Structure 1
Amino acid sequence: MSAPRVTLLLACLLIPMMFGSATAQENWPRFRGVDANSAVADDPRLPDTWNKTTNVKWKAEIPGSGWGSPIVWGDRVFVSSVHSDADYEKPKAGLYLGRGRPVPPDTIHHWMVYCLSLKTGKLIWKHETHSGKPKMPRHPKSSYAAETPTTDGKRLYVLFGDLGLYCYDLGGKLLWTHAIAPRKTQFGYGAAASPVVEGGQVIYVYDNHESSYIEALDGATGKSRWKVKRDEKSTWATPFVWNHAGGTEIVVAGRKENRAYSPDGDLLWHFDGRMSVLTIPSPLVADGLLYITSGYFQDQKRPVFAVAPGGRGNIALKTGQTSNEHIR
């Protein structure tokens, strides 16, 4: 059977970058953009409406499915996808209340990376990172390409959560690979947190139900610079690189604790946020404060915290407190 195909439709969002602008962001190098806040300067050339034919510059068909966002560097678009040799259960529309798939699909899958022209949508290169049967299941609404790639402008880093992290040059040459031992996750939902780049290293977090950790790999060689165990069960929040006057912090939300690490992997601060049962949203910064939340709609605990820079040690709120020196 032929692999299912998805249509990658980007042009209506990329018009300012295609034609250049003093105010437009030239690149979109990672999950949620340059500063990971998903916000860009307004541009009058952005269309107010679009459909399958109106205000579409181009569209490209990509086999399979991928929940990760495309990223842009220069005149190239990079995106990951996974397709199967045979059909199996597809993501379902509507509210899902239940557990994940109990076992992985029994069919050969192909983990793929694609590079397209930003101007035309034409395929520049593609590469198969791996083929075989998945070893771990996935949430019925997720895919095996749930993570967004990232780039430092020299190299492309593609993470497939419980499979491995793959590094390419921008011309499509595979430079190194880093295998990831698959671990059990809550209800078999799988992995989804995207990698981030900071200071010549690529950082990823793998919270699971067996042995959670955060690890930094050398961007050029793929060798591990540091790896820190995390006393956490499954979460899916992408790390946030927080640059402020006091330094750089790698902030990771967690169900048990929210934590910030130094670029060398040292724990800077932490606090129990009494987060919801599914910790998925990634932190962001606005007006100098870091915002951390978890918002699973069925959980009565849906906290939002605004954290000031400079914290050290345990900055948790005491019983009855709604703010302190570090949490505003």
Structure 2
Amino acid sequence: MRKNNLKNLWIGLFLFFVNSTLIADNWPNWRGPKANGVAPNGNPPAEFSENKNVQWKINLPGSGSSTPVIWKDEVFILAAEKTGKKAAGSEDETSNERRNNNSQRRQRPEGRSSERGSSANRNGFGGNSFNREEMMKRFDKDGDGELNDAERQAMRDEFRQQFSRNRGSDRRSNERSRRGGRSGSGSSRGGFGGGRKPTEEYRFSLISYDRESGKENWRSIATTAIPHEGHHRDHGYASASPVTDGKNIIVSFGSRGLYCFDMKGKIEWKKDFGDMRTRNSFGEGSSPTLHENTIVLLWDQEDDSYIYAINKKNGKIKWKRERNEATGWCTPVVTTHKGVTQVLVNGSKAVRSYRLNDGKLLWQCSGQTGNPVPSIVVDKQNAYAMSGFRGAYIAAIKLGGDGDLTGTESVAWTANRGTPYVPSPLLSNDRIWYLAGNNGILSVRDTKSGKSLIEGERLTGISGVYASPVSASGKVYIVGRNGSIIVLKDSAKFEVLASNKLDEKFDCSPAIVGNQLFLRGKEHLYCIANN
């Protein structure tokens, strides 16, 4: 009897070791095998360019902000492509009637004022002629797609000067211009929020590429649909990353459904959760999480918000819990602490922990800012949650708590400066790395004490950051939106190992497997490796 028990123990340990090693040799999901941005067995080059250490570079179809996931010899990406098919009646929006109306406005009779708001028209913002693209081109100096406090102030100052110059000529026109410039009146048509509801059909696909050559293996179309709402101009309809266990590939296209594919691209099942309504039509982006045979899907929106646990084998809902949250874009993280497997989710009202097997709320902790995008990272003791929209906050929360942990000893430490809006943090070697807002300004803290190790260090050459940092073999990679990639030494002191530049715009987080670094750009997918 004892021999059999001992034999079973050794078999179990062997299988656990093999499975852990297999996962570590892949990048199966958003933020990597441990969901913390670290590639345990990775070692890509520190130096590269368009002409150096590029194993392959391929054109990508459509658009998408999702991270590539890698399993063995395959790289999987999601894409949303316009098909060219218009919705019934959508042509009316660009009909002759509209063109005629525009023509009539341009052909005003002489003597009739055509100078109303003319200064605003020339400057591309204010009044009825609010032009967001022109405004962003002029004032978005760091190129991150948003206006920070300094950039907003520069816009206001210039507008005030314009208003003062034109005050005597047309007070009412300039008052309307002032309201448009300050409040962002273009939000109803894109503005600082999302874009218009599309009138064209999109094709939503999962694509497999050969890891060594970049050659396309296969392409599977999940669905075609006309999305029910727009998205932020830097966002898209393929922003959630897929997840795989080597048996199936789980894909969320949000309001277009949750899909389970086999490893050859065949759809095994689909689950529809209805249409999500996001804040300001910013769009959807939370990735599914997979733990053994349970898929966890976050559905935080402006209508009723939920978190779901779904059976991977058949798509049936295991449990569903209502969440008192508005739109969020973080991805759930699963961890096991003292025998209890729990799901951790960021939120503007609270960070929450749910028991995986039944959805019971274990604990919650308030303090985050609004619009939480960064995903939580965990180690053996703590969960590290942060947010950086209209404020800054990071909290190290002990995993063994119960109930409401806000302001209790279960919060190991907090900080309130320099936290990210979009990029998620990197957790490596008892240090947590994060960026300020969407900018190339780096801070690093000791995870045990919360002590600041690197504070507000500006990364020269980087202009805007959406991608989350990654680490491998003692190197930290930080990818800028402008194609600049800084490689730092993974240590408590700031040390730049290399500064690289690629001819691409990057909003997607990188992935690392072995000696390869995968970078998804706006138009191309790169595989970086030592030649």
Output the TM-score relative to the length of structure 1. Answer: 0.84
Deviation at 1:183, TM superposition (A): 2.3
1:95 pairs with 2:135: no
Residue 409 of structure 2 aligns with which residue? 324
SS in 2 for 1:58: strand
Deviation at 1:24, TM superposition (A): 10
SS in 1 for 2:270: strand
1:185 pairs with 2:291: no
Counterpart CA distance in 2 for 1:94 and 1:282 is 20
1:306 pairs with 2:396: yes
Residue 350 of structure 2 aligns with which residue? 257
Amino acid at match of 2:46: D
1:37 pairs with 2:130: no
Task: Rate the CA distance shift 1:64–1:57 in 2: closer, same or farther, 3 A.
Answer: same
2:327 to 234, 237, 245: 234
Deviation at 1:59, TM superposition (A): 2.1
Aligned partners of 1:162 and 1:190 also within 8 Å? no
Deviation at 1:140, TM superposition (A): 1.3
Unaligned runs of 5+ residues in structure 1 are: 1-21, 318-322
Aligned partners of 1:24 and 1:41 also within 8 Å? no
Amino acid at match of 2:322: K
SS in 2 for 1:197: strand
Residue 264 of structure 2 aligns with which residue? 171
Counterpart CA distance in 1 for 2:238 and 2:329 is 14
Output the TM-score relative to the length of structure 2. Answer: 0.53
Counterpart CA distance in 2 for 1:172 and 1:248 is 30
1:78 to 76, 79, 94: 76
Deviation at 1:327, TM superposition (A): 3.9
Task: Rate the CA distance shift 1:24–1:258 in 2: closer, same or farther, 3 A.
Answer: closer
Aligned partners of 1:192 and 1:236 also within 8 Å? yes
Matches within 5 A, 1:131-150: 131-150=224-243
Counterpart CA distance in 2 for 1:77 and 1:151 is 11
Unaligned runs of 5+ residues in structure 2 are: 1-20, 86-131, 138-142, 148-190, 414-531
1:267 pairs with 2:369: no
Residue 49 of structure 1 aligns with which residue? 47
The superposition leaves residues 242-272 of structure 1 with CA deviations (integer Å, 9 ceiling, x where unpaired) of 2233421100011111100011211110122
Aligned partners of 1:71 and 1:150 also within 8 Å? yes
Deviation at 1:74, TM superposition (A): 1.3
Deviation at 1:216, TM superposition (A): 1.1
How many residues in Structure 1 have an aligned counterpart in Structure 2?
296
Deviation at 1:102, TM superposition (A): 4.7
The superposition leaves residues 127-183 of structure 1 with CA deviations (integer Å, 9 ceiling, x where unpaired) of 111112111211111010010000122110011122211110101111000112112
Task: Rate the CA distance shift 1:249–1:24 in 2: closer, same or farther, 3 A.
Answer: closer
Amino acid at match of 1:308: K
Counterpart CA distance in 2 for 1:247 and 1:25 is 23
Residue 65 of structure 2 aligns with which residue? 67
Bigger shift: residues 195-204 or 239-248: 239-248
SS in 1 for 2:26: coil
SS in 1 for 2:60: strand
**Same amino acid, percent of matched pairs:** 31
SS in 2 for 1:96: coil
Largest Rg, 1 or 2:
2
Q: Which has the higher contact order (CA 8 A, sep 6+)?
A: 2
1:223 pairs with 2:308: no
Deviation at 1:86, TM superposition (A): 4.8
Residue 374 of structure 2 aligns with which residue? 281
SS in 2 for 1:187: helix
Aligned partners of 1:291 and 1:307 also within 8 Å? yes
Task: Rate the CA distance shift 1:125–1:24 in 2: closer, same or farther, 3 A.
Answer: closer
Amino acid at match of 2:394: V
Aligned partners of 2:335 and 2:343 also within 8 Å? yes
